[in-house]
Amino acid sequence: MQTLDIPDAELYYDPHFLKQEEADAYFLRLEREISWQQESIRMFGKELPMPRLTAWYGDKAYTYSGLYNAPKPWVPVLQELKDRVEQASGHIYNSVLLNFYRHGNDSMGWHADDEAALGDEPAIASLSLGGERRFSLKHRARQDLKPVHITLAHGSLLLMQGPTQHHWLHHIPKTKRPVQPRINLTFRRVKA
Ligand SMILES: O=C(O)CCC(=O)C(=O)O
Ligand SMILES: [Mn+2]
């Protein structure tokens, strides 16, 4: 993995974590085998559909964006990917959040993965498949630091750890560019 040299963060990126054919095959399996949900979010007193599909698998229940997610047992495709991501990243995970961005109008707002249940300096391993989308980070406090943009490639792995979630927010913005559907998996370790 290559180190991304960003202050107050610890980030590693491997654009070629999976070979092209492997990444193609995993995309198709996940599209078919995952039970994708269309959740809604409450915003300004209104129920709005979340701008992406989601799924949560793992050994522990988890509350994310105010949504309670019951534990759901690992399926073979996720177990395989979890093993490979653990091997490459040197961390053990017990949960995965999956996001399906159907088109350029699907997105994820600014946030940090800093829920108490993830512990103080969580390691989060993010695997991307399908259409390339821009992932941006912005420092919470330091205005002298420019936002960082990373185009997350098909089959790539991004590892965020150390103080990253303390100091930086990240998002996936909408795009008007035509883009292929994209699946992202973030492997996490949820504490008891
Ligand atoms: O889709 C991505 O690359 C980011 C996903 C993310 O930030 C998350 O699941 O918390
Ligand atoms: Mn995140």
pLDDT (average), residues 118-142 = 98
pLDDT at position 5: 97
Q: H helices within the chain, ranges in order? A: 20-33, 76-89, 164-167
How much is the pLDDT for 44?
Answer: 86
What is the per-residue pLDDT for 66?
76
Q: Quick one: pLDDT band at residue 41, thresholds 50, 70, 90?
A: confident
Q: Which domain holds residue 157?
A: 2-188
Which atom of ligand 1 is found nearest the CA of 128?
3
Long-range contacts of 39-44 (CB under 8 A, 24+ apart): 39/67, 41/65, 41/66, 42/66
Q: Which of 118, 109, 114, 112 minimizes the C-alpha distance to 171? A: 109
Instruction: Classify residue 163 as left (phi > 0), alpha (psi -120 to 50) or beta.
Output: alpha
pLDDT score, position 68: 85
Instruction: Give strand ranges (E) for 21-161.
Output: 40-43, 46-49, 53-58, 62-64, 67-69, 95-101, 108-111, 124-130, 133-139, 148-152, 156-161
Considering only residues 171 and 67, tell me which one the structure prediction assigns the higher pLDDT. 171
* Ordered DSSP codes for 142-153: -TTSPPEEEEE-
The model's pLDDT over 63-118, given as tens digits with 9 standing for 90+, comes to 877 778 888 999 999 999 999 999 999 999 999 999 999 999 999 999 999 999 99
Of all ligands present, the nearest one to the C-alpha of 182 is 1
Q: What is the chain's mean pLDDT, rounded?
A: 96
Q: Which residues line ligand 1 at a C-beta cut-off of 6 Å?
A: 97, 99, 108, 113, 126, 128, 135, 152, 170, 172, 184, 186
Predicted confidence (pLDDT) per residue in 145-160, tens digit: 999 999 999 999 999 9
Question: Which residues lie closer than 8 Å to 69 by C-beta, 6 or more apart?
Answer: 56, 61, 62, 63
Q: Which residues surround the ion ligand 2 when the cut-off is CB under 5 Å?
A: 113
CATH code (residue 109) = 2.60.120.590
Q: What are the start-end ranges of the H helices in 61-111?
A: 76-89
Count of structural domains, the chain: 1
What span, in angstroms and rounded, lies between the C-alpha atoms of 58 and 188?
Answer: 9
pLDDT for residue 155: 98
